[in-house]
Amino acid sequence: MNKPNIKAQRLVALFLLGAALFNYPLLALFNRTGLVWGVPVLYAYVFAAWLLLIMLLALVIEKK
């Protein structure tokens, strides 16, 4: 397998991970009353998952 094909496969896998992270079942798990560092739990989860995806995308795109 050549390198661009592996990078494309990793990007597709990250897309599927993002779709799973922001889908109903997981969002419903974090839709609770409570605070994490003064932020509602659902908002903290969404921003943490978003940050994780951005970091993983940067890792995949910048890796040689």
pLDDT digits (tens, 9 = 90+) for 31-62: 999 999 999 999 999 999 999 999 999 999 99
**Residue given tokens 């989860």 in the structure block:** 45
The span from the CA of 36 to the CA of 29, in Å, is: 15
| Number of independent structural domains in the chain | 1
pLDDT in tens, 12-28: 999 999 999 999 999 99
**For residue 63, what pLDDT band results from cuts at 50, 70 and 90?**
confident
- The residues with which 39 forms a beta bridge, in sequence order, are 36
The residue segments making up the domain with residue 12 are 3-62
